[in-house]
A and B are shown apart, each in its own frame.
Chain A
Amino acid sequence: MNLLGYSLHQWVFGVLSFITIVFALMVVFSRNPVNSVLYLVLTFFGIAGHYLLLNAQFLAIVHIAVYAGAIMVLFLFVIMLMNLNADDEPQKTMSSKIIAGVLGGLLLFVIVGVLRQTAQILPQTQGAADIGLVKTLGMVLFNEFLFPFEIISILLLAALVGAIMIGKRETTESKL
Chain B
Amino acid sequence: MSLGIAAYSTWWERKFAALLQDRWGPSRAGWFGLLQPVADGGKMLFKEEIIPNVANKFLFVLAPALFIITAIVAGVLIPWAPGLKAGSHWYVLQVTDVNVGVLFLLGVTSVGVYGIMIGGWASNNKYSLLGALRASAQMISYELAMGIALIALIISSGGSLSFSEIVAGQNEGVANIVWQPLGFIIFFICALAETNRAPFDLAECETELVGGYHTEYSSFKLGLFLFAEYINMFVSSAVMAGFYFGGYNFPFAQEFYAAMGWHYGDWQISLIGFGAYFTKTLIFITLFMWIRWSIPRFRYDQLMNLGWRTLLPLSLLNLALTVGIEYLRGHLHL
Chain A residues at the B interface, C-beta cutoff of 8 Å? 34, 38, 41, 57-58, 61-62, 64-65, 68-70, 73-74, 76-77, 80-81, 133-134
Contact = CB atoms under 8 A, between A and B. Distances in A.
Interface in B205-251: none
Contacts of A65: 103, 106-107, 110
Interface string B70-107: 00000000000000000000000000001110011011
B39 interface: no
B121 interface: yes
Interface string B98-120: 11100110110111011001100
Contact of B99 (A34, A68, A73, A134): A134
B99 A69 contact: no
Contacts of B140: 70, 73-74
Interface in B106-140: 106-107, 109-111, 113-114, 117-118, 121, 129, 132-133, 136-137, 140
B161 interface: yes
Contacts of B99: 57, 133-134
Interface residues of B, number: 25
B316 to A, nearest CB: 13
B103 A62 contact: yes
A64 B113 CA distance: 13
A73 B118 contact: no
A38 B110 CA distance: 14
B124 to A, nearest CB: 10
Given A65-B110, A68-B111, A70-B140, A76 B117 contact: yes
A35 B103 CA distance: 27
Q: What 6 A-B pairs come out closest when comparing CB atoms?
A: A69-B110, A65-B107, A61-B103, A64-B107, A80-B121, A61-B100
Contacts, number: 60
A70 B100 contact: no
A133 B114 CA distance: 28
Contact of A70 (B110, B118, B137): B110
Contacts of B129: 80
Contacts of A80: 117, 121, 129, 132-133
Contacts of A76: 114, 117, 121
B57 to A, nearest CB: 13
Interface of B: 56, 59, 98-100, 103-104, 106-107, 109-111, 113-114, 117-118, 121, 129, 132-133, 136-137, 140, 143, 161
A68 B104 CA distance: 13
B114 A58 contact: no
B78 to A, nearest CB: 17
B113 A73 contact: yes
Nearest to A79: B121
B100 A57 contact: yes
B103 A77 contact: no
Contacts of B143: 70
A73 B104 CA distance: 17
Contacts of B136: 73, 77
Contact of B161 (A68, A69, A77, A134): A134
Contact of A34 (B98, B110, B113, B121): B121
A69 B133 contact: no
A58 B100 contact: yes
A34 to B, nearest CB: 6
Contacts of A134: 99-100, 161
Given A70-B140, A80-B129, 4 more contacts: A65-B103, A69-B111, A73-B140, A80-B117
18 contacts: A34-B56, A34-B59, A57-B98, A57-B99, A57-B100, A58-B100, A61-B107, A65-B103, A65-B107, A65-B110, A68-B107, A69-B110, A73-B114, A73-B117, A76-B121, A77-B136, A80-B121, A134-B161
A133 B100 CA distance: 8
A81 B110 contact: no
Which one of A58, A61, A80 has the highest number of Cβ atoms from chain B below 10 Å of its Cβ?
A61
Nearest to A72: B114
A38 B59 CA distance: 10
Contacts of A74: 140
Contacts of A133: 99
A61 B99 CA distance: 11
B161 to A, nearest CB: 6
